[in-house]
Amino acid sequence: MITIALPKGALLSDSIELFKGIGLDFSAFLDSKNRQLQITDPTNTAQGLLVRATDVPVYVEYGQAQLGIVGYDLLLEKSPEVAHLGDLNFGGCRMSVAVPKTSPYQNPRELPPNSKIASKFVNCAKTYFQQLDLPVEIIPLYGSVELGPITGMSEAIVDLVSTGRTLKENGLVEVDTLFQSTARLIAHPLSYRLNLDHLNDLSEQIKNSVSKS
């Protein structure tokens, strides 16, 4: 039986909707009283595994799940060894550089060398500033990245922006976009290549359902 890793958080309800469209019902994961992290769909066709968004590529890389749904941002940040099967056209957001609206540097290229940049996405931020040829120090934070500039610890942040409300509430403005991100379908490379448990049929069904919607 195929196992599908589903991400907790922002992408969950759209992911469950997607699988419902091809006859796989994992909506029990949306029940706030549910404590199960592994469920089989009612038709006994596939198993769903509910894990942290960051852990989805890990389960897929190790073949514990043959399919998974993950944001493009995490694929760029973690570079897991998984097969990228396609864009699912939901969960849209962008990776942005933001600075305080009172900052004298309203363009990332104007940031003084050795500026400090707070981010959860250390690798994305590093690559971006290397491409600008600007030597900066990336400060890895795990939560409330917007506190970086507020406390004066960093000149800017690199973070995922969806509505922009958090930035606005904290007096920050976006000054550049690294890339747009959406949810992606990923697969365990070997399982996909060997077409284990008709994995390719299932992924085709998913892709067809996305292109129709």
The residues that touch a copy of itself, with contacts defined as CB under 8 A, are 3, 8, 37-38, 49, 51-52, 54-55, 58-59, 62, 64, 116, 139-144, 147, 150-153
CB of 93 to a copy of itself, least distance (A): 19
58/210 with CB nearer a copy of itself:
58
CB of 138 to a copy of itself, least distance (A): 11
Q: How far is CA 142 from CA 135, 193, 200, in A?
A: 22, 36, 36
CB of 74 to a copy of itself, least distance (A): 11
154/181 with CB nearer a copy of itself:
154
How far does the chain reach from its first CA to its final CA, in angstroms? 27
CB of 85 to a copy of itself, least distance (A): 21
94/116 with CB nearer a copy of itself:
116
Locate 93 and state its tokens.
Answer: 């957001």
Residues 151, 157, 160, 161, CA torsion sign: positive
37/180 with CB nearer a copy of itself:
37
8/126 with CB nearer a copy of itself:
8
CB of 1 to a copy of itself, least distance (A): 13
CB of 147 to a copy of itself, least distance (A): 6
Sheet with 172-181, side-by-side order of all strands:
137-140, 116-119, 156-161, 93-100, 172-181
Beta-sheet strands, E only, within 41-101: 46-51, 67-71, 83-87, 93-100
Cβ 74 vs Cβ 181: under 8 Å: no
54/182 with CB nearer a copy of itself:
54
- Which positions ≥6 away from 66 have C-beta within 8 Å? 2, 3, 4, 60, 187, 188, 191, 192, 196, 197, 199
